[in-house]
Chain A
Amino acid sequence: MNKVKLVRKILVYAIYVVFLVCFQVSFPDKISFDAQIADIMFVFVSLVAYYYGLWDGIIVGLVVGILRDCFAAPAILSFNGDIATSVGIGSLSMFLVAVFSASVFTVKMHRKFSFALITVATCSVIYKILGHGAIKLWTTVFSSASYSLSFKQVVVDSILVQVLLNLICAIPLILLLRFAGPYSGGVNPALSKNDTGGNQSWLTV
């Protein structure tokens, strides 16, 4: 990759990351429905990893995760029993989203619109299940309190609404990445070279 293309890639990623992260934490009311907020950062990381591969995904995921920790860190029970903001949970979750999105589907299915949506939906469901599971575990172990959400509330009010919102915001993001993304033509040349030798299966994990 020559210098001009590299600078273009970094600039485009920087603009998207700054704008999307700042928009989500500054105006969550504009993208919320039924008490859930469309997770634009999450969807963006997932799509970048899906379309442009593991390394792009990891770097964008870590940057977005760090900004997520800076602007909207979760408040958790610390070891002394006080509620405090945590460091690293945003980075870890965005990093794992990138790894998952770039790894589950092999090259044969990369860059297909429908599979991009399936990736976002799958990631969202796993993120939500793991999140609820971690909070339930943390609450039980550290505060010996019970987690008040019922199974139905978790599925209907949390997971289902979040997946729908994420899918809705995935559509414009896919179009932006394809037609105004970091790579001209919407294709990472490093990945397209590997495509020719890819296998036919779509699940490799």
Chain B
Amino acid sequence: MRRLFANKWFIVVLITVLLVAIIILGAIPNSPVNKILTPVKAVANPIQRFVKSVGTTIDDYWAAITDGVAIREENVALKEEIARLEYEATKDDEAMIRYEELKDAFHIKDSFSDYDIFGASVLSREADEWFSVIRVGAGIDDGLILENTYSYAVVDNRTNLIGRVIETNSSESKILPLLHEGFSVNGKVNEVNGAVILVSGDAALKKQGLCLVTGIGEDVVIEVGDVIVTSGDGGLFPQGIPIGEIYSVDYSDSLHPIATLIPYASIDDLKDVFIMVPYNQDVATETPVTEETNE
């Protein structure tokens, strides 16, 4: 036995088999294997956050030096903008009071009034073409409890859809971005009785920053520039989150027309995200939309 362990190829095969077993066991839902990296994460995450903060500080410092003149000019313009906005804000305060009165009187519901919004900074992004999950700094300790079939919509600072949460631990969450080929969401054209479609990530379109649009009905006309928002069907995403605009349409197959969509959110420039957690968790318990369920 000792001679066997002295053979390097035996050790290589042994480690390979062990790692393959971990991968397979890890693919089983609720497998305890998925928790084996928890101790490593406890040590590695603070180090990665430190390196990121140092890098960001250096980047910001360098940007401050190189952009000095531009920043001064921008500062002057912004001061004028602030003065104008302060005036607007004063007017809006009165309008807001009036709106609140009307809201109570007519029981008007805000778009996302059933949702709590958690802000989180992006900790790490994709490592290559396939290692593409985004980590953000909000987790179970912040109230993001993700059970079996739960998921939460993730948006940017302009409420544009970025993706959905697929995993949480005590201090962080992992997000599946909307360009990922495993992502799909029911959308609709943002107009009264707008056509319902399916927006999904696609391996070939990801490189161009586009999503695939399918499920377009035979009698539905989709045009370039149409604004697509979440439809709310499936229960995973609230209705009305802007996804993007139709970029191209292909009606060559009249039975299964397809289109491409350019998302509003820019994943490359992400620094902060917002996670939408329903006050009533049942809202988010339905199974995520997949091509199979949609068909």
Contact = CB atoms under 8 A, between A and B. Distances in A.
Contacts of A73: 131, 133, 174
Nearest to A63: B40
B249 interface: no
Interface stretch (B11-19, B83-91, B111-119): B11-19
Interface in A168-197: none
Contacts of A143: 290-292
B235 to A, nearest CB: 15
Interface stretch (B41-49, B222-230, B274-282): B41-49
Interface stretch (A4-12, A88-96, A104-112, A115-123): A88-96
A25 B204 contact: no
B207 A35 contact: yes
B67 interface: no
Interface stretch (B120-128, B152-160, B237-245): B120-128
A89 B23 contact: yes
Contacts of B215: none
A72 B126 contact: yes
Interface string B35-57: 01100110011011001100100
B129 A36 contact: yes
Nearest to A21: B48
B136 interface: no
B6 to A, nearest CB: 13
Contacts of B131: 68, 72-74, 90
Contact of B48 (A71, A135, A149, A158): A71
Contacts of B132: 72, 74-75
By secondary structure, the B interface counts as mixed
A16 to B, nearest CB: 13
Contacts of B33: 87
B213 interface: no
Given A87-B26, A92-B16, A25 B125 contact: yes
B132 to A, nearest CB: 7
B124 A25 contact: yes
A23 B51 contact: yes
A70 B37 contact: yes
A86 B130 contact: no
Interface size of B as a range: 35 or more
B290 A71 contact: no
Interface string B182-223: 110000000000000000001111111100100000000000
A127 B84 CA distance: 56
B125 A28 contact: yes
B34 A87 contact: yes
A150 B40 CA distance: 38
Given A58-B15, A88-B26, A148-B204, A75 B182 contact: yes
Nearest to B177: A75
Nearest to A41: B127
Contacts of B55: 23, 26-27
A131 B48 contact: no
B135 to A, nearest CB: 6
Nearest to A69: B37
A87 B23 contact: yes
Contacts of A37: 126-129
A24 interface: yes
A70 B130 contact: no
Contacts of A86: 23, 26-27
Given A29-B268, A72-B124, A72-B131, 13 more contacts: A27-B52, A29-B125, A75-B133, A78-B28, A81-B290, A82-B149, A82-B288, A84-B27, A87-B23, A87-B33, A91-B22, A148-B203, A149-B203
Interface of B: 8, 12, 15-16, 19-20, 22-23, 26-29, 33-34, 36-37, 40-41, 44-45, 47-48, 51-52, 55, 59, 123-133, 135, 149, 166-167, 174, 176, 180-183, 202-209, 212, 268, 288, 290-292
8 closest Cβ pairs, A-B complex: A22-B51, A72-B127, A25-B124, A87-B26, A88-B22, A88-B23, A26-B52, A83-B182
